[in-house]
Amino acid sequence: MRPAPNFGPNPWHQTQWDWRAAANFVFGGAGSGLIVFAALSPARGQLLTALLLGGLALVGTGLACVWLEIGRPWRAFNVFLSPRLSWMTREAMVATLLFPVGLAAAVAAPALTWVAAALALAFVICQGAMVHAAKGIPAWRDSMVPPLIIATGLAEGGGLLLAATAWQGAAPPQMLAIVVLVLLARATLWYFYRRRLDGAAAPGALVQLDRAGRVLHLAGTLLPLLLIVAAVLAGGALAAPALALAGLAAAASGAFMKYTLVTRAAFNQGFSLAHLPVRGG
């Protein structure tokens, strides 16, 4: 049984969303990003099928983790009852379209790949808006959170694409350029997001976010960029392992950042008391 939080004017750590909720954002965002990058890539045939099925498997894993978090799992269907109010409902509705369209694109109708990519992008947009809608947690309610979640999902997807296709031969320059741009966009969004939290989030949340930020900048941005440059310049037998490692680093650092954001940095703001009672006043 979870201990009751210490309610009061000081921030306390939320206990409603744990690692299972974080897994939805980790796997769901990465899977959605992989589907988007599969559509952008020149992959065809069995390779395209494998990329699409891999993306769907990751999204399904994330949703399964959320299902396991529910105390009464068969009440999960109630999530479809509030499309006008809940981003979680919208995420679920997009997922019900994404899976059949994605399977059709992977197995029988490759022309639907772009439709699956659009639905995957809508899925990760819902995820970003869902975190932002939790107004009681300063680290979540900042307006930079939705674009940060979206960029992170795309960066993870681009990284997984590099890791999955590194052994297929030289990656097209345009794909490498897109991955680089997404990695730089994610790092830039994180920089401005973190600056905006100074004085707004709890000290404990800022410590966790700073740790995740170091991982994101060093292992998730600088290292992949250096490895991509090395792969382009060196070529030959070194290109494949360099691109694979770059992709895995980009994806793993994004997963760590989202896990930290959803769990370790999730401090409530505490009670806001604009006017304190004065004895005898």
Is the Cβ–Cβ distance between 25 and 262 less than 8 Å? yes
Dihedrals φ, ψ of 17, to 5°?
-105, 115
Residue 104 three-state SS:
helix
Pick from 153, 152, 168: which is nearest to 243 by CA?
A: 168
How do the domains of the chain map onto residue ranges? 19-264
Distances (CA, A) of 115 to 99, 147, 221: 11, 21, 30
Which pLDDT score, from 0 to 100, does residue 34 have? Answer: 97
Kindly give, in sequence order, each residue whose CB lies less than 8 Å from that of residue 27, ignoring residues fewer than 6 positions away.
58, 59, 61, 62, 65
Residues 155, 159, 102: CA angle, nearest 5 degrees: 80
Q: Measure CA of the first residue to CA of the last residue in the chain; give whole Å.
A: 42
Predicted pLDDT at 46: 92
- Helix (H) / strand (E) containing 112: none
Q: In terms of C-beta density within 10 A (0-12 exposed, 13-18 middle, 19 or more buried), how is residue 46 classed?
A: exposed
Q: What is the pLDDT of residue 1?
A: 42
Which of 277, 2, 278, 265 has the alpha carbon at shortest distance from 134?
265
All residues at 6 or more sequence positions from 160 whose CB lies less than 8 Å from its CB, including other chains: 30, 33, 34, 37, 54, 247, 251
Compute φ and ψ for 2, nearest 5 degrees: -75, 140
The distance from CA 13 to its chain's CA centroid, rounded to whole angstroms, is 21
91 token code pair? 């995420």
Tens of pLDDT, residue by residue, the chain (281 residues): 444 455 555 666 777 788 888 999 999 999 999 999 999 999 899 999 999 999 999 999 999 988 876 656 566 556 656 666 688 889 989 999 999 999 999 998 999 999 999 999 999 999 999 999 888 889 999 999 999 999 999 999 999 999 999 888 767 889 999 999 999 999 999 999 999 998 888 888 999 999 999 999 999 999 999 999 999 998 778 889 999 999 999 999 999 999 999 999 988 876 555 566 677 65
Correct CATH for 19-264 of 3.40.50.720, 1.10.260.40, 1.20.1630.10, 3.30.465.10 = 1.20.1630.10
Give residue 77's pLDDT: 59
